[in-house]
Amino acid sequence: MNTVKLKFTGVNPKLIPNIFVDGKNVKCKKNQFGSYEAQVQTENDEIELAFSRQLELKGKLWWLYALLSFIISVFGIFEPFYDRRCISTDCLFKIKLNGDEEIKVRFNTFSSSGKAVELETKNDVEEIKNSYEVDKVAKKRWITLLVVKVVVWIALAVVAGYFISKTI
């Protein structure tokens, strides 16, 4: 049984990424120094470590939830904005284990170019993916949503203006 200690630094506390080890979501805890830690036990000699940032607009029912949010928030007045930048984290590593291991992961600041994380470990690491990328699907949906909202707001303003002019 191998025990892998994962340490994460540079994590934005508001946007803690999803961490997967061999496809399973790993919960991490904040330590006294402000970084995050997780401990994983595995029988395998190699683990697959992945980080992701799941954007709200990537889901299958995004349109339904967006519509409900828009209505409940009184036509978007009280609605928080969806992430405009639509940057997702796409990281996948294969790490060979030699016993009890410690892997330090430093998250870089968000940018659409450059590496998303830096790994510090004595083990052999195969980097398959390691980047921040603008999610085109989410970005397209964000623009669609904005256009629809603007159209609805204009329509509402016209309707309101019509009724006000009628009453006056």
Partner 1 sequence: MPQSYNELNAKTEFKNFLVRLGKIFSNISILGLILSSAGVMSFVALAFTFIFGFLLIVMSLGTIFVLVPNFSDIWLSVADTSSKIASFFMQNFYIFAGITIVFSILSFVLLITDRQSKHTARLVISGVIIAILLIFIIVALVGVGK
What does the binding site for partner 1 look like in residue numbers (CB under 8 A)? Answer: 13-16, 18, 20, 22-23, 27, 50-56, 58-62, 65, 68-69, 72-74, 78-80, 88-90, 92, 135
Query: Phi-psi bin for 128: left (phi > 0), alpha (psi -120 to 50), beta?
Result: alpha
In the complex, what is the shortest distance from the CB of residue 17 to partner 1, in angstroms, rounded to a whole number? Answer: 9
Query: 136 vs 166, which CB is nearer to partner 1?
Result: 136
Residues 16 and 28: beta-carbon distance below 8 Å: yes
In the complex, what is the shortest distance from the CB of residue 128 to partner 1, in angstroms, rounded to a whole number? Answer: 11
In the complex, what is the shortest distance from the CB of residue 12 to partner 1, in angstroms, rounded to a whole number? Answer: 9
In the complex, what is the shortest distance from the CB of residue 51 to partner 1, in angstroms, rounded to a whole number? Answer: 7
CA distance 102 to 97: 10
In the complex, what is the shortest distance from the CB of residue 6 to partner 1, in angstroms, rounded to a whole number? Answer: 16
- What b/e sequence results for 66-81 when a residue is b if at least 16 CB atoms lie within 10 Å of its CB, and e otherwise? beebbeeeeebeeeee
CA distance 21 to 51: 9
Pairing of strands 36-42, 46-52: unpaired
Query: 88 vs 121, which CB is nearer to partner 1?
Result: 88
Query: 13 vs 99, which CB is nearer to partner 1?
Result: 13
Query: 49 vs 103, which CB is nearer to partner 1?
Result: 49
Query: 140 vs 158, which CB is nearer to partner 1?
Result: 140
Helix (H) or strand (E) holding 138: helix 136-167
